[in-house]
Amino acid sequence: AQAQATGKVMVVDDSSVARHQIEHALEQIGVSCDIYEDGNQALRALERQRDAGTTLYDEYL
């Protein structure tokens, strides 16, 4: 039996193949993820969360 995890991670990679593979692997064990192509996209997402009052620790593993 495969172990199941919970939570959410942020995946940042400029390779669409790598992003897809990582997302698929994480979904297989029950982890959801937000996917970004580069650091700027990820930073903007974190800034939006901060502005909404959500901390990094509230949102991601």
In this prediction the pTM is 0.78
Residue 2 lies in a domain: no
44-53 long-range contacts (CB < 8 A, ≥24 apart) are: 45/10
The answer on pLDDT for 12 being more than 90 is: yes
CA 17 – CA 6 distance, rounded (Å): 24
CA 30 – CA 44 distance, rounded (Å): 26
Query: Residue 57 has what pLDDT?
Result: 77
pLDDT confidence bin for 1, thresholds 50/70/90 = low
Q: Over the stretch 19-48, which tens digit does the pLDDT of each residue have?
A: 999 999 999 999 999 999 999 999 999 999
Residue 59 lies in a domain: no
Residue range of the domain that includes 45:
8-54
Query: Residue 5 has what pLDDT?
Result: 72
CA 51 – CA 2 distance, rounded (Å): 38
Provide the number of structural domains found in the chain. Answer: 1
Query: Residue 51 has what pLDDT?
Result: 93
